[in-house]
Amino acid sequence: MAETYKVAIIGSGPAGSSAAARAAKLGMSHILIERQDHISDTIFKYQKGKFVMSTPDFLPLRSDLNFQAGKREEILDVWNNGLENCEVNVKFNAEVTNIKKEKNFTITYADGETCEAENVILSIGLQGNINKLPCEGAELPLVQYQLDDPEEYEAETIIIIGAGDAAIENAVALSKQNTVIIVNRRAEFARAKQGNLSLITEAIEKGNVEAYYESSPIKVEKDSITLKTADGEAKVPCDRIIARLGASAPRRFVESCGVDFPDKEELKKDPKKRPDPRVLPEVSAQYESNVPGLFIIGALGGYPLIKQAMNQGYEVVEYIGGNKIPPADEPLLVEKFSALNNQNVDDVLETIRKNLPIFAKLNTLLLREAILESNVHAFKKGDTIFKRNDYSNTFYTIYDGEVGILVDPNDPSQVVILDQGNFFGEMGLISGRRRAATVKAITNCIVFETPRRTMLKLIQSVESVKDNLDKVSMLRQIQTHLAPGVDASDLQELIETAEIENFSAGDVIFNQGDEGDHMHLIRSGSCTVSVKVGGKDVVLSYVPSGNYIGEMALLSDQPRSATVKAAHNTQTIRLTGKAFKDVLKKNSGIKNSVEKKFKERISQNEKMEGQPEAGNIIQFLIEQGVGEGTDVLLIDETLCIHCDNCEKACAETHGGLSRLNREAGPSYASIHVPTSCRHCEHPHCMADCPPDAIHRAPDGEVFIDDSCIGCGNCERNCPYGVIQLAAPPPERFNLFSWLLFNKGPPPGDLRKSADYKNKKKKDENQIKQAVKCDMCKDIEGGASCVRACPTGAAARVSPEEFMSMTSLTS
Amino acid sequence: MHESLLIYKKFKYLKLTLTTVILSVVLYLYHSPIGSPNGGTWLGYTLGTTAALIMFWLAWFGARKRSYKKSKGNLEEWASAHVYLGLALVVISTLHSGFQFGLNIHTILYFLMMIVIISGIIGVYFYLKFPRLITKNRNGLTTEMMLNQITEIDEDIRELSMSLDDFTVDLMTKAIEETVIGKSFIIKLRGVDPDCPTTLARKHLRETFFSENKKTAEQLLSKLTRKEKILHQLRKDLKMRSLLQIWLYIHVPFTFAALAALVIHIFSVFYYW
């Protein structure tokens, strides 16, 4: 009979090691079982020297092992030493093949040996179950599923299979001294992070990496791979194949232990359906699965971050030892909830889940995280929560009390009341535009304000959040922009038949001459309307979000009179013609306003057809990406005297480094679009900023704060090249000190001065930070580039205003 | 959205200037001093003080233009006022003089000031004329793009000329290495370089008969012609951009001279009272 442990920990990653260290410290009888001959195989297999981050920063670490952001090697050393010091009982080279529960758990190893334990902690992660090449030859020696050190290889032909971040990072790193071919199953690299997307696009454009799109491997031989491509089969000779196809939960093994997956019932109903590899087993707040005594932590439990996993390891062992300690973030939540008369954290979370439908289906850990990143506000009756035209994009949920939305700016008596459980502020979040209405507290109330980034993450990862948000926001958008004053019940059919559609830049929403049986309400992004005149596209207008299109064909029962294209990434609500016409029939007020707009559009289109130049200007500006901006610097070349005072002003107000390049950038019909930030509706630079250093100020300025770590993601992500990484500038003196005593560099851009160049050479290794236009938000009077223009050539405009017909044809 | 400094805020400063000027003229006509009109009467002092204040204020424009951070408002408004009030000085200071001119510091000040004003008028004229012409001449290209095109053409020229005779190679090398865009001040302003090595090389190539390598010579000729065209464009661009600045080389030094003369003028008037 083998020994019976109090706890057996399977998998020695961050979660498992931390649990084992805790058990050892508590003097609990334990065993840490590891398949490999070293701990933490996933991190062990990271690229050599890889820098490991310690996010989320706000979360305190609770473990007997130490962990700080740093290099892979240092972190592994610290853990190895830690385990040794705690005298953890580790069993290496032991693969678990079966776990059976009777009174105790019986754990069977691959060699047939067994051991018994009262509790089991499953912390095996996902990387132990790497997805293999789905073809013959997947186990041949030239195929590998990891890359340790890219420098190790040179002058080889290496095939990378996959299109995710790991595949791209490997491909780019290897391309320095090898011939690299990346094989992508799809037509584009959609799964990768923006920064990596730019890296791979650049590498492919430069010819450093060759890409095979819409291709998949069908056979591997000892020195070649056969690919199925869009043009047929191709046999590619190669020295090495690196497949980075991700990993998935070892579902069969976990299920064999008796653990249920949440989609079990669905799969039973529909036996043809294949299990979704992203679905993970469900666990309690104490990480216990449906099998009592079997705990699941770490990536397998849905928590891939190292620090979270380590905390879970600690907590779960404490729990097994009979100490039900609150999670590490508990004190932070207690502080968050201090406005709620010191209610118990669990009670508040339970109330949230019960009363706030948008968060109802989040698991406890996700919910805690979302709330931790949110702010809790207690507003007094009559307080303004945000104002119409504020440029904020946070999301609010009402925990308690009532708020009122002032829907009509001209009539403060028109108020829509929202009570507990409702959310608001979603329109700004979706459209990336200014707040559409003012919101006030009607009673004393408590609301949660969740940041844009957290919400976007939830929308992407949790289906129920997205569904809930889409449903409610669709109704509100229709009520705001199309059918004001119409009751929700009258719009039911319209909403039920409506769909959300996505378009990329240049995609056709509908074509001239098409049958018009539906219309679109633009939720985010913007479109251009054009007609074909003599075989050429003539642009008639620019339509920003918050407007509807396609109503003309519906009302007139004629084919589409114009083509509508997305100016950039655009999302619309597609409304069916029949349902819309029914709404019109019942509501004469709306019918009148839609018909009025219809007439306006016809007369506007007639005018614009006679002025193709104005349309060409719109087309030009859209091509320059101005359409997605909120505030764009445009220079009138008939007035610009090339004095560069705008650049000098920019440099002078920003420590000597201009964020604007006047001369660069294209011109059309005397309108010049210099290289300068246009403060996009959905800023590309914000998409992937590790320290979350990029924000939008209340007036709309997108700026970078001091927490920038200089990683360069934003620089790569900006399609307009307006972000630079720059070392801090040298000290400057005032105009007269320079003029009379030659003190410091001359006014204007330092990059042109010798002082700066010398300094730059000296501090080659200095930490750089990203700099960009912040629209002089800290300076009274507005953007200094515009204020410093002596001839009135420089102006900052909102595209919506500038591309309106009155502005272009006057 | 964009508004020229001359029509800034519906000619706000033109209106202000006209009012001041008309008021001065009316007062001048109405005023009947003892003896001939001069700077020493109450009106003379009033006009003189006004003119002196305007002059100091106009000169402050140079500092205002470079004060980016602290100053409020926009520079265009200052520029608009600068232009119109500068013009007002012509009338105000002439009336202040009572049309008495002579060989003295006072008249020197008057002429220095007039040089500043006339150079300023020329400057405004340039500001109105050249921006359009620069845009037209550039035809959508930036200086950098044009220079890059030349670099590319130069590479082609170097390659093509390799198979030709030594003399021609030498000329081509000169065309590549010694072609300068703003060789001297005069050439900058003329916008044409009569001794441009590229032009010389093209002329030579056209006049030389190549029995062999005819095709290469033709290709080379077309490259040189293309390069000349871009050079012409660049020189014209530089000429216009230089003219946009050149008037300042008179306007600014004479401003300082006029200010010095103004100080002496005021000092001497009171000292010799």
> Best mutation site among B60, B75, B82, B127 for testing chain A: the one with the most A CBs within 10 Å?
B75
Structure token pair of residue A128: 């132990």
User: How far apart are the C-alpha atoms of A364 and A353, rounded to whole Å?
Assistant: 9
- Tokens 């590229």 locate to B198
Binary contact (B131, A637; C-beta < 8 A): yes
CB-count exposure of residue A120 (10 Å: 0-12, 13-18, 19+)? buried
Separation CA A658–CA A724 (nearest Å): 10
Residue B73 has its nearest CB partner, among A648, A664, A781, at A781
Residues from A contacting B (CB-CB < 8 Å) are: 634, 636-643, 645, 648-649, 652-653, 663-664, 666-668, 670, 735, 747, 779-781, 784, 786-793, 795, 797, 801-802, 807
ipTM of the complex: 0.89
- Residue of B167, B21, B173, B181 whose CA lies nearest to B89: B21
Per DSSP, A260 falls in state: P
Give the pLDDT of residue A324.
84
Instruction: Provide, as residue numbers in chain A, all residues whose Cβ is less than 8 Å from the Cβ of B68.
Output: 648-649, 652-653, 747, 784, 788
d(CA A618, CA A342): 56
A624, A632, A639: best to mutate for the B interface, most B CBs within 10 A = A639
Cβ(B242)–Cβ(B46) under 8 Å? no
Q: How is residue A664 written in tokens?
A: 């660069």
Tell me if A330-480 shares its fold with A489-610.
yes
Give the DSSP per-residue string, A491-505: GHHHHHT-EEEEE-T
Residue A810 has pLDDT above 70, yes or no: no
Stretch B248-255: mean pLDDT: 96
Cβ–Cβ below 8 Å for B4 and A792:
yes
The pLDDT, as a whole number, for residue A296 is 94
Q: Given an 8 Å threshold on Cβ–Cβ distance, is B135 in contact with A779? A: no
Q: Tell if the CB–CB gap between B69 and A663 is shorter than 8 Å.
A: no
**Chain B nearest CA to A206, separation (Å):** 19
Q: Which residues of B touch A649 (CB under 8 A)?
A: 68
User: Mutate which of A624, A635, A642 to test chain B, going by most B C-beta atoms within 10 A?
Assistant: A642
Q: Which of B75, B131, B135 sits opposite A790 (nearest CB)?
A: B75
The residue length of chain A stands at 810
Contact A670 B241 (CB under 8 A): no
Q: Å from A777 to nearest chain B CA?
A: 12
Q: How far apart are the first and last CA of chain B?
A: 54
Length of chain B: 273
What pLDDT digit, counting tens, does each position of B188-227 carry?
898 888 889 999 999 888 888 777 778 888 889 999 999 9
| pLDDT tens digits, B145-191 | 899 999 999 999 998 888 888 888 899 999 999 999 888 888 889 88
Of A643, A652, A666, the CB nearest to B69: A652
How many whole angstroms separate alpha carbon A23 and alpha carbon A309? 15
For A423-480, the DSSP string reads EE-HHHHHH-S--SSEEEESSSEEEEEE-HHHHHHHHHH-HHHHHHHHHHHHHHHHHH
Q: How many CA atoms lie within 13 A of B61 on its CB side?
A: 22
Residue among B2, B67, B241 whose CB faces A795 most closely:
B2
Q: B73 and A636 in contact by Cβ < 8 A? A: no
CATH number of A143-243: 3.50.50.60
Nearest CA to CA, how far is B16 from chain A (Å)? 19
Find which of A115-129, A346-360, B85-99 is predicted with most confidence, using mean pLDDT. Answer: B85-99
- Fold for A330-480, please state it: Jelly Rolls (2.60.120)
Per-residue pLDDT at A194? 65
Decide which of A748 and B9 is more confident: B9
The residue whose two tokens read 């109405």 is B30
pLDDT (0 to 100) of residue A78: 94
A contacts of B135 (beta carbons < 8 Å): 637-638, 667, 670
A104 Cα distance to chain centroid: 44
Residues of B in contact with A637 (CB under 8 A): 131-132, 134-135
pLDDT at A677 over 70: yes
- Over range A423-434, report the average pLDDT: 90
Per-residue tokens: A364: 């406890």
Please give, rounded to a whole number of angstroms, the shortest distance from the CA of A176 to a CA of chain B: 27
Task: Give CA–CA dist A229/A272, Å, rounded.
Answer: 28
For A734, nearest residue in chain B (alpha carbons): B67
C-alpha pair distances (Å), A293 with each of A104, A120, A317 = 9, 6, 11
B76 → chain A, closest CA residue = A790
Read off φ and ψ for residue A520, nearest 5 degrees.
Answer: -130, 140
Mutate to test the interface with A, among B11, B58, B66 (most CBs of A within 10 A): B66
- Nearest chain A residue (CA) to B64: A788
pLDDT at A653 over 90: no
Question: In the CATH scheme, what is the code of domain A4-128+249-320?
Answer: 3.50.50.60
Cβ-contact A269, A256 below 8 angstroms: no
Contact state of A792 with B130 under an 8 Å Cβ cutoff: no
Question: Considering only CB atoms, which chain B residues are within 8 Å of A652?
Answer: 66, 68-69
| Cross-chain Cβ contact A790/B79 below 8 Å | yes
Where is B111: in which H helix or E strand? helix B105-138
Asked if B1's CB is within 8 angstroms of A802's CB, the reply is yes
pLDDT tens digit sequence for B97-116: 999 999 999 999 999 999 99
At A299-327, the pLDDT tens digits run 888 777 899 899 999 999 999 999 988 88
Closest approach of A543 to chain B, Cα-based (Å)? 20
Worst-scoring range by mean pLDDT, A278-287, A568-577, A601-610?
A: A278-287
- A418: helix, strand or coil: strand
Q: What is the mean pLDDT of chain A?
A: 87
Contact B8 A648 (CB under 8 A): no
Alpha helices in A563-706 (DSSP H): 577-586, 588-609, 612-623, 645-653
With bands split at pLDDT 50, 70 and 90, how would you rate the model's confidence at A635?
very high
CA-to-CA distance for A130 and A146, rounded, in angstroms?
Answer: 10
Q: Backbone dihedral region of A382: left (phi > 0), alpha (psi from -120 to 50 degrees) or beta?
A: left
Confidence of residue A768 (pLDDT cuts 50, 70, 90): confident
Q: Measured between CA atoms, how close is A208 to chain B, in angstroms?
A: 23
At residue A779, does pLDDT exceed 60? yes
A778, closest residue in chain B (CA to CA): B69
What pLDDT shows up at residue A808?
Answer: 66
Q: Are A435 and A409 in contact (CB under 8 A)?
A: no
pLDDT of residue A666: 87
pLDDT tens-digit readout, A288-301:
999 999 999 998 88
Contact B4 A641 (CB under 8 A): no
Residues of B with CB under 8 A from a CB of A: 1-5, 8, 63, 65-69, 72-76, 78-79, 127, 130-132, 134-135, 140, 142-144, 241, 244
pLDDT tens-digit map of B50-97:
999 999 999 999 999 988 877 778 899 999 999 999 999 999 999 999
Cα separation of A607 and A754, whole Å? 55
Whether pLDDT at A763 is above 70: no
Interface touch B4/A639, C-beta < 8 Å: yes
Task: Enter the tokens of residue A417.
Answer: 């009341």
Contact A791 B132 (CB under 8 A): no
φ and ψ at A695, to 5 degrees?
Answer: -135, 170
Which residues of B are less than 8 Å from A780 in CB distance? 72
Chain B residue whose CA is closest to A640 = B131
The reply to whether residue B75 touches residue A789, judged by beta carbons under 8 angstroms, is: yes
Give residues with Cβ within 8 angstroms of A786, minimum separation 6.
A633, A646, A794, A795, A796, B74
Closest residue in B to A651 (Cα) is B68
Q: Tell me yes or no: is domain A489-610 CATH 3.20.20.140.
A: no
Tell me the pLDDT band of A712, cut-offs 50, 70 and 90. confident
Rounded to an integer, what is the distance from CA A654 to the centroid of its chain? 29
pLDDT score recorded for residue A262: 79
The neighbour count for residue A787, using CB atoms within 10 Å, is 23
| B241 vs A contacts (CB less than 8 Å) | 642
Whether the per-residue pLDDT at A760 is higher than 60: the answer is no
pLDDT band at A730 (very low <50, low <70, confident <90, very high): low
**Cα B261 off chain centre by:** 24
- Mean pLDDT across A767-787: 87
> What is the tens place of the pLDDT at every residue in A250-279?
888 898 999 988 777 777 887 777 777 667
Could you count the other beta carbons within 10 Å of the beta carbon of residue A532? 13
CB contact under 8 Å between B5 and A790, yes or no, is yes
Position A767 scores a pLDDT of 64
Position with higher pLDDT, A134 vs B11:
B11
Q: Measure CA of the first residue to CA of the last residue in chain A; give whole Å.
A: 94
| Mutation site for B-interface testing, chosen from A645, A658, A791 by largest number of B Cβ within 10 Å | A791
pLDDT in tens, A152-200: 898 899 999 988 888 888 898 899 889 999 998 887 776 676 667 778 8
* pLDDT band at residue A536 using 50, 70 and 90 as cut-offs: confident
> Is B69 close to A781, i.e. CB distance below 8 A?
no
pLDDT at A748 (0 to 100)? 66
Which element (helix H / strand E) includes A508? strand A508-510
Q: For chain B, state the CA radius of gyration.
A: 28
Give the chain A residue nearest B77 (alpha carbons). A790
Give the pLDDT confidence of A63-105 residue by residue, as tens digits: 999 998 878 889 999 999 999 999 999 999 999 999 999 889 9
Domain boundaries, chain B: 5-131+249-271, 143-245
| DSSP 8-state class, residue B209 | -
CA angle A359, A363, A368 (to 5 degrees): 75
Nearest Cα neighbor of A521 from A564, A592, A571, A471 is A571
Q: Which residues pair with A5 in a beta bridge?
A: A117
Asked if A401 contacts A444 with a C-beta cutoff of 8 angstroms, the reply is yes
pLDDT at A387 over 60: yes
Domain residue spans of chain A: 4-128+249-320, 143-243, 330-480, 489-610, 623-809
